[in-house]
Amino acid sequence: MELNNEGGKLTPRVRLAMRVRRLRERKGLSLRQLSERVGGYSHSYLGRVELGSQLPSEALVNMLDDFFDTDGVLADLLEMAHDSVIADYSRKIVNKEPEAERIQVFTSSLVPGLLQTPAYAHALFPAVIARRE
C-alpha cells in the first residue's frame, strides 16, 4: 500500500482505510465481528479495505456509515479517493460520462512487445509490410 502521495500527504484512500480501522477499534470489534454486523462482507475484504489495498464498494461504505453513525463521512472519503485517481486534465471528461449516450473503447490488435514471442514478431512484420503495399 502506498501510504503517501508525492506531496507527502496521506492519500484519500489511506485516510479512508485509517478511519474505518479506527472506528472498528473504538467499538472493540475484530474484523470477523464487524463482518457479521455489516451484512456478512468477508473479514478478508474488510481487512484489505483497512489496509488501503482495496477501495470498498459504495454499498459497504453506506453500511459502515450507518453502522458507525458517521453521517456520510466514509462516503465522502470514498468519493475523494475515486476522484484522486483521475488526473486533473481528465476530470472534466470523466465528470461528463454520466451524460454520455455512448462510450467507445479502442483497443490494440497487437500483442505488446514484452509479451511477444519471436515467432509472433517474425509473423507480424511481413503482415504489416503486406498491408502497406
Q: pLDDT tens digit string along 34-75?
A: 999 998 899 999 999 999 889 999 999 999 999 999 999 999
Query: What are the grid coordinates assigned to 28, written together?
Result: 472493540
Give the Cα separation of 81 and 60 in Å (integer). 15
pLDDT reported for residue 133:
67
Q: Is residue 78 part of a domain?
A: yes
Query: What are the grid coordinates assigned to 77, written together?
Result: 472519503
Give the Cα separation of 113 and 65 in Å (integer). 46
Nearest residue to 20 via CA among 11, 31, 10: 31
Q: pLDDT tens digit string along 80-115?
A: 888 777 777 777 777 788 898 888 877 767 666 666
Q: Which residues are CB-neighbours of 91 under 8 A, at least 6 positions away?
A: 83
Does residue 117 carry a pLDDT above 90?
A: no
- Surface-to-core class of residue 56, CB atoms within 10 Å of its CB (0-12 exposed, 13-18 middle, 19+ buried): buried
Rounded to two decimals, the pTM is 0.61
Q: Is residue 16 part of a domain?
A: yes
CATH of the domain at 20: 1.10.260.40
How many structural domains is the chain composed of?
A: 1
pLDDT reported for residue 111:
65
Give the range of the structural domain holding residue 22, as residue numbers without chain letter: 12-88
Q: Is residue 84 part of a domain?
A: yes
Q: Is residue 28 part of a domain?
A: yes
**Higher pLDDT, residue 24 or 9:** 24
Predicted confidence band of residue 4 (pLDDT cuts 50, 70, 90): very low
